[in-house]
Structure 1
């Protein structure tokens, strides 16, 4: 269902509120530049700082502006199963293609709890689920055996994973444990090349916010098995991948976007603050290296 370069979109703010006009421009630009799907209200979208009303409005605007040109994978994760279901039901109603559901954070459920959480969501909403494993943020790790159990139990509902575990062996674990039809997407830009070689088919990307065409071209080269071109594009993007995390994300990527587009600001919400000078220098250097400045 999903492949290629899929940006985890930032949520633009202006004087503390959702900048809907800028977000609509961002959606159009991403599609024009070759992004194959869009993810509103993920980690990069500062979903943890949005009220439910804001969260739903961001998803609604993304679906409306995309207008069927690309799929929308709505960020629906929560450490409260019922709130995750609320997000999923809204996203289904407004026309999202799938839900991105992160492992519940802070609560630290075990593997049995994760199976119960995702099973409840799969059984109570028709929207397909993309699992999101990012143990560096959630502490909880969706282990490969759990992913395989869920995907086999709900083959029509739990259809994909965004894996940001940093463990490349999991691509093969999932492929051999579930089958090739289960969609695997890298959650780490810098690991997208080896992940694709192991069987992933794309990346839910931070870098694609600011370099959508380069990221789309890179993913296309991977899909076409043009390793020389893929490696060359990866080299262009590589410093940018790391610059995006020189300070708390999405500070650096919002700064990068403000350098590329006058209609986007680097405003973030507390407890985040605009990225520091070291990060700004790293971003500027990486943008120049990639030919974006």
Structure 2
């Protein structure tokens, strides 16, 4: 059984001005997403600035999210690391907190071999009982889960059940699905490829767009799942300009700026990520939000 279907939000981590985690604002965001129809909360992923959260903050943020959601929709926690031991530690702590799934990114910087990836994911899996979504995003990690490796893990490792596919390579994603079959669910990791990946058997998206347009992203996915391919495709194409603007600089810089423009007051980013690098990109983002029908300050 799939962890979720539809639109999971890769939720930002709201910060106070001193860059501590703003748990009150986190509660507000979670309640908004549930009201808007978001199908799953993905906490402490890339968009949640997991790389600059301390281990203590990481675990506390996951635990707080699980308590706030209180079983109303699934919660998936980002627990990946470039260290297998750290990934195991974060995964076991997230499991204790009661998450419904774990999102485990490929080890970054180390550039593991395919054999190394198999061992890494197997060791993480053996440490927990919670279902695992592998996260393949080679543009950020320098490490690519090849289709043969993904299929092997889905078929042979007990609780590896899905992959968040963010390689941008539709041919690779198609081959992964062809080799893995029903052994591995697929979620789009790119907002501009949701419908194409669902056409290859994907179940939905783990989405940055959902941060600013949660109801829209949910509807786009469920139109497809309910058989309205044409309507879903039209929504995908209509959102392309906003999606491009949300990635005009490295994620999650634009999405946090966008949420602040919308009055959500999610606070600053943590270094080495700061604000938008140019006024032109800021204005592009503002215009895209307005053109999409989103009110900004």
TM-score, with length taken from structure 1: 0.96
Q: Where do residues 18-37 of structure 1 align in structure 2 (5 Å cutoff)?
A: 18-37=21-40
Paired residues, number = 291
CA contact (8 A) 1:9 1:41 kept: yes
Q: Distance in 2 between matches of 1:236 and 1:172?
A: 24
Instruction: Describe the SS at the equivalent of 2:82.
Output: coil
Give the aligned partner of residue 179 of structure 1: 181
Among residues 117, 120, 123, which one is paired with 1:120 in the alignment? 123
Shift of 1:122: 1.1
Q: Does 1:142 align with 2:145?
A: yes
Among residues 235, 238, 241, which one is paired with 1:239 in the alignment? 241
- Larger mean CA deviation between 264-273 and 16-25 belongs to 264-273
CA contact (8 A) 1:236 1:289 kept: no
Q: Which runs of 4+ in 1 moved over 6 A?
A: none
Give the aligned partner of residue 272 of structure 1: 273
CA contact (8 A) 1:266 1:274 kept: no
Q: Does 1:73 align with 2:76?
A: yes
CA contact (8 A) 2:147 2:173 kept: no
Shift of 1:171: 3.1
Shift of 1:126: 1.2
Q: Distance in 1 between matches of 2:183 and 2:223?
A: 21
Among residues 250, 253, 273, which one is paired with 1:251 in the alignment? 253
CA contact (8 A) 2:25 2:266 kept: no
Among residues 44, 47, 59, which one is paired with 2:47 in the alignment? 44
Shift of 1:268: 0.3
CA contact (8 A) 1:36 1:70 kept: yes
Q: Distance in 2 between matches of 1:217 and 1:54?
A: 33
TM-score, with length taken from structure 2: 0.95
Among residues 64, 84, 87, which one is paired with 1:84 in the alignment? 87
Instruction: Describe the SS at the equivalent of 1:53.
Output: helix
- CA distances 1:187-224 after superposition (whole Å, capped 9, x unpaired): 00001111111111100000100100010010011111
Shift of 1:283: 1.4
Q: Does 1:129 align with 2:138?
A: no
